[in-house]
Amino acid sequence: MHGKIALEEHYAFPDTLEDSAVFVPPSHWPELKHRITDIHGDRLKEMDKAGIEMTLLSLNAPAVQAIVDTKRAVDVARRSNDYIAAEIAKNPKRFQGLAALAMQDPDEATREIERAVKQLGFRGALVNGFSQAEDPNTPVYLDDARYDGFWAKLAELDVPFYLHPRNPLPQDARIYDGHPWLMGPTWAFSQETAVHALRLMCSGLFDRHPGLQIVLGHMGENLPFAIWRCDNRNKWLNQPPKYPAKRLLSEYFQDNFYITVSGNFSTPALLCSMQVIGSGRILFSTDWPFEAIDEAAHWFDACPISEADRNRIGRTNSLELFKLQDLLGK
């Protein structure tokens, strides 16, 4: 399929580059380093070969979210946004961006998303899970009351928020003790991010801001398969949910979430997701450079769905959600 749009596609700049080194063996680091820092060379060639017309670029992980010095986190977020906005300006019909934000400082993050959207032309934000604010050992999740003003601003700006994974902090990762291979994209990323998304749903955030749209990668971090049980466990007890939110979790999932196929090129997982959230809320993505663009595209272009669904997932859903019509036409 030509004209695809991809939106979990990462870059790194000098301040954050080393964060990605731990995820590959040293033998593969030179190649990953090249792939994640390159914008207009091999990345564009891969896009051309794979039929990807537009890539929304976002900073690598955990990057800004793992900087415990708040002032530095704020500075790195701003400089990375300035850096990638200048690169995007060189080829805006092929590249757009999602802003990095230092959630350690909610007021600053609120100012930065407004600057990023209104002045730099970003199409939304991508944040790598929790932040460490006053205490490096305490994760702060985005349902915390300190983010009320931030979410109100995001709703006002009417741009999507990509909730991207990071690993849990060591003291919260003891279930993986002795099994380091389960950290990262194998399992821990999805577990961490799915619970974070459920926290947002349970908190009542989407009752306050019914228009907010959160994007989850990796085929919804297993939630399409699991959300029914979140609402229906022990149904015979006939007890209303104990959380502050007003509706069923699956209703928020349906109305306030989009999922991407990034790094999860599984046809059964896609078909399940289409039944649960619908093809109108699924978006093509690859997760470059942690996954291969050609693998993502070959799978997606051939997977057994209707051409109407392929066109929605591959292009038109993203075109509408990120308001890209001005650049790409219909």
Active site residues: 287
- Residue 170 CA to residue 165 CA, distance in Å, equals 15
Name the one residue in this structure whose structure tokens are 């190649």.
31
**CB of 289 vs Zn ion, minimal distance in Å:** 10
Partner from Zn ion, ligand GRE, none binding residue 168, C-beta < 5-8 Å depending on class = none
Q: Which is nearer to ligand GRE, 220 or 263 (CB)?
A: 263
Least distance (Å) between residue 63 CB and Zn ion = 11
Give the nearest distance from C-beta 249 to Zn ion in angstroms: 24
Work out whether 252 is an interface residue with ligand GRE (CB under 6 A): no
Binding of residue 287 to Zn ion (CB under 5 A): yes
Q: How many Cβ atoms from other residues are within 10 Å of residue 175's Cβ? A: 11
Find out whether 163 and 221 touch, Cβ atoms under 8 Å. no
The size of the interface with ligand GRE (CB under 6 A), counted in residues, is 10
Task: Find out whether 11 and 36 touch, Cβ atoms under 8 Å.
Answer: yes
Q: Taking a C-beta distance cutoff of 8 angstroms, is the pair 33, 22 a contact?
A: no
Residue 99 is classified by DSSP as B
Output 10 or 94, the one with its CB closest to ligand GRE: 10
Q: How far is the CB of 315 from Zn ion (least distance, A)?
A: 20
Least CB distance from residue 210 to ligand GRE, whole Å? 29
Contact 165, 190 (CB under 8 A): yes
By CB under 6 A, residue 287 contacts ligand GRE: yes
CB < 8 Å & 24+ apart, contacts of 272-276: 272/224, 272/225, 273/219, 273/220, 273/224, 274/305, 274/309, 275/224, 276/224, 276/225, 276/227, 276/228, 276/250
CA distance 309 to 287: 21
Name which of 90, 58, 95 is nearest 77 in CA terms. 58
Instruction: Please choose which of ligand GRE, Zn ion, none residue 224 contacts, taking the beta carbon within 5 to 8 angstroms, the exact cut-off set by kind.
Output: none
Q: Does 10 bind ligand GRE (CB under 6 A)?
A: yes
CB nearest ligand GRE: which residue?
290
Residue 75 CB, shortest distance to ligand GRE, in Å, is: 21
Among positions 13-42, residues that touch Zn ion (CB under 5 A) are: none
Site for ligand GRE in 167-186 (CB under 6 A): 184-185
Residue 296 binds to ligand GRE (criterion: CB under 6 A):
no
Cβ neighbours, 10 Å, residue 41: 11
Among 6, 52, 61, 125, binds ligand GRE (CB under 6 A): 61
Helices (H) and strands (E) in the chain, counts: 15, 10
Nearer to ligand GRE, 185 or 224 (CB): 185
Q: Is 9 in the site for Zn ion (CB under 5 A)?
A: no
For residues 329 and 320, the answer to whether their CB atoms sit within 8 Å is no
Listing DSSP states for 210-275 in one string gives: TT--EEE-HHHHTHHHHHHHHHHTTGGG-PPP-SS-SS-HHHHHHHHEEEE-TT---HHHHHHHHH
Single residue of 23, 83, 141, 299 touching ligand GRE by CB under 6 A = 23
290 binds ligand GRE (CB under 6 A): yes
Number of residues that bind Zn ion (CB under 5 A): 2
Chain contacts with ligand GRE (rule: CB under 6 A): 10, 23, 60-61, 165, 184-185, 263, 287, 290
- Residue numbers of the site for Zn ion (CB under 5 A)? 8, 287
